Structure 1
Amino acid sequence: MCQTSWASLLTTLEKMTLHTTLQNVSPWLDTKKEEAKVQASEVDNFEQKLIFWMTTPLGTFIILANLFIIVGIVFNRKLYNTTNYFFLSLLSADFFTGVALPVIPRMSSDKDMGYHGCLLVYILPNFFFLTFLANLLMVHYEKYVCIVYPLHYRNLWVHRCVPLALLLVWTLPLIFASLPMVGWNNWNVNATCRYSHVFQKAYLYLEIYGFLIPAILATLFITVKVLIVARRQHKSIKKLYRSVQRGGCSELEQQMDLRYAKCIASVSLTFLVCWVPYIASLHVSLLAMEQYNIKWLTLVILTCVGSGSTAVIPVILGLSNRQYTELWRTVCGRCCLAWRKPPQNPAIIRDMTGQVKPGRTLDLLTQQASTT
């Protein structure tokens, strides 16, 4: 009996001690939870501000620059040809990519949306970017065919079937981007709106290694082939020029060498600045999807820089072509002439050679007034 009473007394004391400890610890736990919520809210606000300031100015620039180049092509009838039709399609796709640019870094965060709204939020930016890459590849391929096969270019399907080619570069990305909408997703009844519930891992791997990376490598391969053809023609021109001139290295040859070196430097710089960050962001996103420990700041910065730098490529190609900016240069020149044009003076005195002598007009009028 005595042992039983002592055991019950000890149990009661332990319960009282545990209850007292929980009462003392509970406010501390509540305080820690509130501090964690405040810290998470501050981090989320900082992330949203960082995404805004990294994507919104660049997206606005891409939108305005594409509109600038599109207007310069549409209102210049000398540019109505196959090459510029493909480039107009690329500019249109890049315009929509600039619109979707602020949304792309936010695709890694959860959203409070329904099934159809969630699918549209994730599928539309993906479709715009896939269309952009398809149009960019088509533009490079058309230029490659035009340069490598100049005599047979008009008989090739790229030149003869422009509407079909444009339909393909817009329809195929739409079909692939719409696959999650027809059932290839991880959505269930209790699912939240996040990318892992919209895109399956197999879909993302197929998109990255079956479409995006091959398209980038194909674009790079076509560019290198064009540079090789240009180098071969460059050597032929120099050889022909030297056979005619029979002299040393002339100024024209130096200019040609410098121009070719600038082309190589611009292509290399474009690849390093525009494509390398995008490829890095793709692989970092895959690592984050596989639950690797990657800081959110690294992921956000790489996604913003990678997507934005790639979308700048058509703007660089458009602004570097003087034909696309000819309309705006003409308009600016006329505006400057109209602004600088002096006012017409009705009393203009001309000498015997027909030259205008506006400085003598006031003197003659003064003499006439004094004589009268």
Structure 2
Amino acid sequence: MGNSLAGNKFQELIFWLTRPLSVIIILANLFIILGIVFNRKLHGAINWFFLSLLFADLLAGAALPTVPQLAFENELGYHYCFFIYVAPNFLFLSFLGNLLVVHYAKYVCIIHPLHYHNSWVYRWAAFYILLAWTAPLIFACLPLIWNQWQPHLNCSFSLVFPMPYLYLETYGILIPSILAMAFMCIQVLCIARKQLKNIARLLHSVNRGQAPSALEQQLELRNAKGIAGVSLIFLVCWVPYIACLNISLLAIDYYYVNPHTLTIVTCLGNGSAAAVPIFLSLSNHQYIQFWRDMVCGGCCKGQKYWQKQAMPNAKMPHGNLCILEPNGIQGYPPNEDFKPSPAADESLELAIKFNTQI
């Protein structure tokens, strides 16, 4: 009687932790996917990568409620046993693979902006998307090769996934991929900071003895927001996920961990990782522009018209898919006393490009 009551409470805990989080992730991804699909300005290579990532994140969010239940043994057949364990693992691996491809595409775009159209990641976008799905599928199916299935044993996590496979997945794929994405983000921030210093030097040479211009202050503010955003995503999303991976391995191989504690850690870790694409999407106004136009209607269109009339014409690069915000910097007050040279204009464009990518 006591075991049955404890089991019901545990199932209730799993339900209240995973189902609301799963619903939020699914609805948020659907919201952003529709915003990209119905916005023709976003039909480019990088945005196709991001669209594939959102689909992978949606599927990972749908599989989230099944993850805590995998810690229990069940009497299942051979095929169904491997399916319920391999399928969630494949979905989370494909999510991480698509996220790595998105970071790599943006990294190449910013490191080599003039040669991006000739790079493989742009010319072979479909191949990279296919690779982000097939490579995780192949790796997730490896336990089917070296499994030691015995009919009299119950279906369990340790029966499907051997410990060498778990160590290889955790310390050979998952954590190195996260560190690689962190390295690429740091490189992008360093390049953006370098370009901001260059444009600030040009502004100071033109406006000697004057206070920093509004444009310079806005660029500094955007750079600070980029640094804060990357730091926040790593601390809030990736640190709990890395902790979840290590605690899960310790619980399987070395120590006994309370099932309630393991369930909470697993839900928070996987849920925080699945929230990364949502944070990245909401930081880009173009991904939700379709819904803003739907809600605002003519009111927002009239406001944009008067803003365009008030702002001077700016020379912006055309046809560069690296720029996720085609309108450039919006809302910057014009500086009537500033007349940049061609070199200053080019550096300004690069600074805008790097900052809109952060």
Q: Which residue of 2 aligns with 1:68?
A: 31
**Equivalent residues in 2 for 1:28-177 (5 A)?**
38-177=1-140
1:69 CA drift (Å): 0.7
| 3-state SS in 1 of match to 2:297 | helix
8 Å contact kept, 1:62–1:95: yes
1:260 CA drift (Å): 1.4
8 Å contact kept, 1:186–1:200: no
**Equivalent residues in 2 for 1:1-372 (5 A)?**
38-181=1-144, 183-246=145-208, 247-334=210-297
Letter in 1 for 2:176: P
Please give the per-residue CA displacement for 1:87-112, whole angstroms capped at 9, x wherever unaligned: 00000100100110101111111122
1:335 CA drift (Å): 8.7
Give the Cα separation in 1 of the matches to 2:274 and 2:19.
13
Q: Which residue of 2 aligns with 1:14?
A: none
5+ long unaligned stretches in structure 2: 301-358
Letter in 2 for 1:231: R
The structure number with the bigger radius of gyration is 1
| 3-state SS in 2 of match to 1:237 | helix
Give the Cα separation in 2 of the matches to 1:121 and 1:53.
21
Letter in 2 for 1:239: R
Letter in 1 for 2:199: I
| 3-state SS in 2 of match to 1:187 | coil
Between the two structures, name the one with larger relative contact order (CA 8 Å, sep ≥ 6).
2
8 Å contact kept, 1:55–1:101: yes
Over the aligned positions, Cα root-mean-square deviation in angstroms equals 1.4
- How many residue pairs get matched? 299
Give the Cα separation in 2 of the matches to 1:109 and 1:250.
62
Letter in 2 for 1:215: S
1:204 CA drift (Å): 0.6
1:271 CA drift (Å): 0.7
1:171 CA drift (Å): 0.5
Change (3 A) 1:48 1:335: farther
Give the Cα separation in 2 of the matches to 1:207 and 1:42.
36
Give the Cα separation in 1 of the matches to 2:153 and 2:298.
59
Give the Cα separation in 1 of the matches to 2:148 and 2:167.
15
| 3-state SS in 2 of match to 1:289 | helix
Letter in 1 for 2:59: F
8 Å contact kept, 1:141–1:222: yes
Show structure 1 runs of 4+ deviating over 3 A.
none
1:255 CA drift (Å): 2.4
Give the Cα separation in 2 of the matches to 1:315 and 1:184.
37
8 Å contact kept, 1:186–1:199: no
Letter in 1 for 2:265: L
Please give the per-residue CA displacement for 1:310-360, whole angstroms capped at 9, x wherever unaligned: 0011111112211111111111123989xxxxxxxxxxxxxxxxxxxxxxx
| 3-state SS in 1 of match to 2:287 | coil
Give the Cα separation in 1 of the matches to 2:193 and 2:2.
58
Give the Cα separation in 1 of the matches to 2:3 and 2:160.
25
Give the Cα separation in 2 of the matches to 1:298 and 1:184.
31
Letter in 1 for 2:252: M
Change (3 A) 1:253 1:335: closer
Give the Cα separation in 1 of the matches to 2:196 and 2:297.
38
The farther-off stretch of 247-256 and 114-123 is: 247-256
8 Å contact kept, 1:101–1:308: yes
1:293 CA drift (Å): 2.3
